[in-house]
Every structure is written in C-alpha cells, then in structure tokens.
Amino acid sequence: MRAARPRPESSPRRIPPARDSIPPAFAIVIATVQPTVLNAFTVDVEDYFQVSSFERVVVRSQWGEFESRVVANTQRLLDLLGSRGVRGTFFILGWVADRFPQLLRDIHAAGHELACHSYWHRLVYDQTADEFRSDLRRAKQAIEDAAGCPVTAYRAPSFSITRRSLWALEILVEEGFTLDSSVFPTRHDRYGIPGAEARLHRLQTPAGPIWEFPLAIRSLGPWQLPVSGGGYFRLYPFAWTRWSLAGLNHMGRPFSFYVHPWEVDPQQPRIAGASRLSRFRHYVNLATTESKLGRLLASFRFGTMAEVLAEQAHVPDAIAPERAGMAALAQ
C-alpha cells in the first residue's frame, strides 16, 4: 500500500484550467449530453395549408387549389438528413401519398422509415370509430401503394389520441399497426394526456399489444414541459431544447423529435382568416428552424423509430413496464 505523500506547505494547490469562457449553464449542458442513446427523428409530412391550426379556414375539398410546397420542403429535410447521415421516420398524409408518390419513393430510397399520418388530417376525437378506421385504411393503402413497403407505425394529426379517443389504439392494432406515436403527456387545448407514461412502452389493448412512443416532455417540478419539436422547438432557444433533451438521454431514455416540412419554409404563402394564436403557432421563428435542426442533428444520435425500438428493447429501464391495460392512460 502506497503512503500518501504529504504536500509541501509551499506547493500551491493545483487549479484546473479556467473555463470562464463557458457560462455554468452551458457547462452543465456539455456535461449531460449522452451521445450514446439513439433517439427517433420524425417528420410529419403535410403541406402548410393542411395543419389543424388552419382547419377552420381551409376547407379540405379545396386543398388541391393551394400552391403545394410539400415536395420541395420535404426534399430540403431529406438533404439535411442525408448530409448528416441520419435516417428518420416519415409520418405521411395519405392525401400527399396519392398526389406525390415519387416523393415517397425518394424518402424510402434514402433509407428512411415510412409511416402513417392519416389521410385527411382529421382530429381523431372528432371522428367516429368507423370514420377513423376507414380514413386509416385509405391512408395506409395509399402510402404502401406509393412506396411499395409495409406501413406499421402511426401518428395522429395533432397528437389527437387523448382520453376521449383511446379507442383508436385498439383499431390501430386491428389494422396491423405495431407502433403509435400520438400520446403527448402534457396539457394543451387540442391534445395531450397529462400524467401519461412519458417513456417508450408497450400498451395492451383489447385487440393486442402496441408500442407507444410518446412525444418528449421534460419534468421540472410540477411542470411537464413539451420539448419534442415543432412549435416548441421554434419558440425555445436552442440551448434550452438541447439541455432538456440531453437530460432525457442522461437518464438513459430515448426521445422522439418531430418537425414538419413547412417549418423550413419561411416563404410559404400566408393563410388568411386564421386566429392570432394559430398564426403565432404556425409562423413563429420559421426562418431559424433549418439552422437549429442542423445543430440538433450534430448534438444527438438519431435514427428511425424502428431502430430505436430495436436498440432500446434490451436496455434495462429505457422502456417503461408494460401496461396491463389502457387504464393508466384513461385515469
């Protein structure tokens, strides 16, 4: 055993190199990034006039009359992901698949996963179960026909699987879906299940099990703060998003991040007649999204939802315990 050598009285205590160029908050960010966890990068492929914020002023039967920008904008995202070597999951609107099948083939050829974002972008809880099923079937068929690959993952328009529409999960299983990413464990006027399990987990429905990959939130005291992309990503300073998501990875948890093609298009035509709140949500900080995305892609490991599931399935504690039923969501 080696005896500790007493330090001579005259020897000054060694001080670590100064890091005063890095503010303490940023030092924490640097310390907490865990680049080993694979996260899901997802894109909800729809055009700027098809969003829920504008559904009261844009009639679905007139979608075909708007200038379409979804192909060019999705291509920008494909280029960005390609330049970083990142694959993601693209939840595609059936309407887009029917009109622009080549876009789906391009997405598929670039190695990304194709998934379903409904056909008409109708909120799930505004439909009957039969209406939901027929819209779902039409979308799945359109996407599979266009891309020539099976579609087994789903995201509801505006995350509209809430306590009012949990029945949709059973229908998803019956229609051949194995993964859903529609539950947002937060409070919002249009979506959200506050208090719902926020980790990737498997739910048992009456028709069988389905994986649920909720949208990312960060718990801070009593608050459940959405940090998963979209308008939140555009609104928050990048450092805050990065710190929040790094915290999830630090706990060993993968997160799912989402973006829309229209969010990298500051020149998109403005929709007249929408409310002040809707316009704010849709147009805030569009000009900076693409550069922020570049920084995000450089900060974390990303892949498709299927890849995250495959990687995390064997990591202890990354996935929440299986739910015996949907009671936990319905409380």
Site residues (CB under 5 A) for Zn ion?
44, 46, 157
User: Measured from the CB of residue 190, what is the shortest distance to Zn ion in angstroms?
Assistant: 11
Scored b (16 or more CB within 10 A) or e, 178-215 reads bbbbbbbbbeeeebbbeebbbbbbbbbbeeeebbbbbb
Output DSSP code: residue 202: E
Closer CB to Zn ion, 76 or 84, in the complex: 76
Closer CB to Zn ion, 242 or 260, in the complex: 260
User: Measured from the CB of residue 117, what is the shortest distance to Zn ion in angstroms?
Assistant: 6
Closer CB to Zn ion, 157 or 303, in the complex: 157
Closer CB to Zn ion, 212 or 319, in the complex: 212
> Closest residue (Cβ) to Zn ion?
44
User: Measured from the CB of residue 299, what is the shortest distance to Zn ion in angstroms?
Assistant: 25
Give the residue from 127, 187, 191 showing the smallest Cα distance to 162.
191
User: Measured from the CB of residue 91, what is the shortest distance to Zn ion in angstroms?
Assistant: 8
Long-range contacts of 144-149, Cβ-Cβ distance < 8 Å, separation of 24 or more: 145/97, 145/101, 146/97, 146/98, 146/101, 146/104, 146/105, 147/97, 147/101, 147/104, 147/105, 147/107, 147/108, 147/114, 148/105, 148/108, 149/108, 149/114
Residue 83 in 3-state DSSP?
A: helix
Closer CB to Zn ion, 58 or 319, in the complex: 58
DSSP 86-137: ---EEEE-HHHHHH-HHHHHHHHHTTPEEEE--SS---GGGS-HHHHHHHHH
76 Rama sector, left if φ>0, alpha if ψ -120 to 50, beta otherwise: alpha
- Calculate the CA 296 to chain-centre distance: 13
Closer CB to Zn ion, 121 or 199, in the complex: 121
User: Measured from the CB of residue 20, what is the shortest distance to Zn ion in angstroms?
Assistant: 45
**Contact by Cβ (8 Å): 194, 185:** yes
Closer CB to Zn ion, 191 or 300, in the complex: 191
Which residues have C-beta within 8 Å of that of residue 192, sequence separation ≥ 6? 159, 162, 184, 185, 186
User: Measured from the CB of residue 245, what is the shortest distance to Zn ion in angstroms?
Assistant: 21
**Contact by Cβ (8 Å): 139, 97:** yes
66 Rama sector, left if φ>0, alpha if ψ -120 to 50, beta otherwise: beta
**Contact by Cβ (8 Å): 244, 220:** no
User: Measured from the CB of residue 192, what is the shortest distance to Zn ion in angstroms?
Assistant: 15
Closer CB to Zn ion, 160 or 241, in the complex: 160
User: Measured from the CB of residue 229, what is the shortest distance to Zn ion in angstroms?
Assistant: 12
User: Measured from the CB of residue 216, what is the shortest distance to Zn ion in angstroms?
Assistant: 17
Closer CB to Zn ion, 46 or 212, in the complex: 46
